[in-house]
Amino acid sequence: MTRPERERGQVDDEVAQKLEAAGLWRRAAARWLTVMAAWSLTDAQRVWICQRRAYCLSQVAPAIKPERPDFAAVARAAKATQARMGLSRPDGEAFRLKGAPAKRKKAVGSVSVSAAADDAEA
């Protein structure tokens, strides 16, 4: 590095420059941060490294966000399939065992009204 470049604050780091040349922008930005922490630098050099790091981070392509799945479409398809199979009944009747007694409701720590009524009948 020549004397005028040092006066402007430019820092020469081969590893960071090779990473930039290869297009590895995040790694180059991390390397510039390591260089800034490891060496004894002037304030002008620290400012230059900070700007170079910001440039590297600006070159990173934005992450592509995956599309959110459309669960409403899945629910519609399931409902249509159940209708075609003859399973579309209110309150899920098609999936209940026929002739099985209904489950009693019990509250935790106390007896619910429906369970108490059933016990009173017995």
What is the rounded CA–CA span in Å between residue 122 and residue 105? 16
Burial of 19 (0-12, 13-18, 19+ CB in 10 A): buried
Question: Among 44-48, 94-98, 116-120, which is the least confidently predicted range?
Answer: 116-120
Would you state the pLDDT for residue 38?
79
pTM: 0.49
Q: Which helix (H) or strand (E) holds 24?
A: none
pLDDT tens digits for 44-95? 999 999 999 999 999 998 888 888 888 888 889 988 998 888 777 777 676 7
